[in-house]
Structure 1
């Protein structure tokens, strides 16, 4: 072989030394199926435990008085535990088939099962308490600085912790489904690129990400205005009686705190399309000028996007049944949560694809 050609071929292949030193999170297509099957089997064992009469079944109003907003508020340990065990066993069997490259109807069935499991775990089991637990974290921290306690740990009862566990399981199933989907369409499992990957497609992703980011920034603005107005003593969209009640319980301060968290989140969301979302600013302590790891933005933004969407859907369902228009300032801003969540999720996905560099696996 011509030495020049040999040099070109070797440069086109991924450097084995670099590949071996990749961080574990960059090798997620290799380990995520194993993590998924471990999670599935472990949760199936919990289902058997609950079915056998064990304590701690996390679903249903009988075991969780705060499950009034849950889709599974009528669930019981006897039937629910057995159903969980059966579904997890079926999921473990499906995971064995996901390791094989299938075509046609078999591929479609496997993808349908995997994505359905991910959707149920991410969007059906969590309820608004999961979002409240995340949103009140910075509010509680600020309150602690000024000597006020919101009893933050009271939010994290076992049923709420179970929602986070199921959310992690759903993300594992989604990652497994994505890996299988890429593998069976002859694309790279790491980056998803194949021969159909074009610059035009990336331009579409860039434009979509820009519009989705602006939508995610503007969606909570209505909520922020109402909560800050209440803190200032302006009964914007609520009755005077409700404003006095909020002030008496200090709920106006909590609402304003959530509005400030939302404003801070909007600033961080803007980073999904700004240069400082890819490299830390020079003035940033220690990390100034360094590359921002994509996972640092993708993982928290993805979590928040899912919880916003879940909460927003449940708020819409409750609003259609109650129809409380007297205090419209307290309810109607929450109806934009699904828009906020979907827009943030879309912007995050576009950011992920835009940040992809040359793949070290498929070169």
Structure 2
């Protein structure tokens, strides 16, 4: 946890343990659902009866792969809020390598991403909960799944509910460390 010489150049202070834990929690919240979708695309019987629509079409495959790249990329960026590579542009980036990242940029982008996460995650969760509890039940991805497959789906997607709050905490830690 010690202070590094590189901190003198970036103005960064070591992040408190709670902020580092929140950054890593962001990644941990995003990976299970990404793994579930990768398994679905690889042909595993995850119980999702519309899986063929994504596996058997170019557009569906591109959609899922783009979703994976965006979701996992955003989660890795959350880890950058507590790592040195999140404070200085990597040296391999032409023209910008080695320059400090402006202090407000991660806060602005992270704040916008966090607001979007709250909106998307909770609106989807609300829609699926409402569909599952309506009479007759509306469509949810769990339709036609065995109880075991439904549990796996729930365990894969439940951590997503924590991602927005974890990112909020990570952004607070980042702000305090880059003051």
Same topology, TM > 0.5 = yes
1:12-161 mapped onto 2 (5 Å cutoff): none
Give yes or no for the alignment of 1:305 onto 2:128. no
| CA–CA separation in structure 1 for the residues paired with 2:51 and 2:41 | 9
Deviation at 1:228, TM superposition (A): 1.6
Distance in 2 (alpha carbons) for counterparts of 1:319 and 1:331: 13
TM-aligned CA deviation for residue 219 of structure 1: 0.5
Structure 1 residue 315, shift from structure 2 partner: 2.3
Matched residue, 1:215: 25
Alignment match, 2:176: 353
Aligned partners of 2:53 and 2:102: how far apart in 1?
Answer: 45
- State the alpha-carbon separation in 1 of the partners of residues 152 and 60 from structure 2: 12
Q: Where in structure 1 are there 5+ consecutive unaligned residues?
A: 1-201, 357-363
Preserved CA contact (<8 Å) 1:308 1:341 = yes
1:174 paired residue number:
none
TM-score after normalising by structure 1: 0.38
Q: Is the 8 A contact 1:224 1:260 kept in 2?
A: no
* Cα separation, 2, equivalents of 1:246 and 1:351: 38
Question: Which of the pair has the greater relative contact order for Cα pairs under 8 Å at 6+ separation?
Answer: 2
Contact 1:316 1:335 in 2 (8 A): no
Structure 2 regions of 5+ residues with no counterpart? 1-12, 133-139
Q: Show the counterpart of 2:55.
A: 247
State the Cα distance separating 1:337 from its structure 2 match.
3.0
- Give the equivalent residue in structure 2 for 1:339: 162
> Following TM superposition, where does structure 1 have runs of at least 4 consecutive aligned residues deviating by more than 6 angstroms?
none
Residues of 2 paired with 1:299 and 1:237: CA distance?
Answer: 39
**Alpha carbon RMSD of aligned pairs, Å?**
2.6
| Aligned mates of 2:112, 2:119 — CA distance in 1 | 11
Query: Secondary structure of the residue that 1:348 maps to in structure 2?
Result: helix
CA distance in structure 2 between the aligned counterparts of 1:276 and 1:220, rounded to whole angstroms: 20
Out of 72, 84, 102, the position equivalent to 1:263 is 72
1:274 aligns with 2:83: yes
- Superposition deviation, residue 329 in structure 1: 8.5
TM-score by length of 2: 0.72
Task: From 35, 42, 46, give the equivalent of 1:225.
Answer: 35
Output one character per residue of 1:311-348: Cα deviation in whole Å (capped at 9) or x when no partner: 22222222322234335499744443331111112111
Provide the rounded CA distance (Å) in 2 between the counterparts of 1:229 and 1:273: 30
Cα deviation for residue 266 of structure 1 reads 2.3
Q: Which residue does 1:129 correspond to in 2?
A: none
**Residues 29-78 of structure 1, C-alpha deviations (whole Å, 9 max, x = no match):** xxxxxxxxxxxxxxxxxxxxxxxxxxxxxxxxxxxxxxxxxxxxxxxxxx
Return the alpha-carbon distance in structure 1 between the equivalents of residues 71 and 151 of structure 2: 17
- Is residue 310–residue 338 contact of structure 1 (8 Å, CA) maintained in 2? no
**Which protein shows a greater Rg?**
1
Q: What's the CA shift for 1:234?
A: 2.3
Q: Show the counterpart of 2:136.
A: none
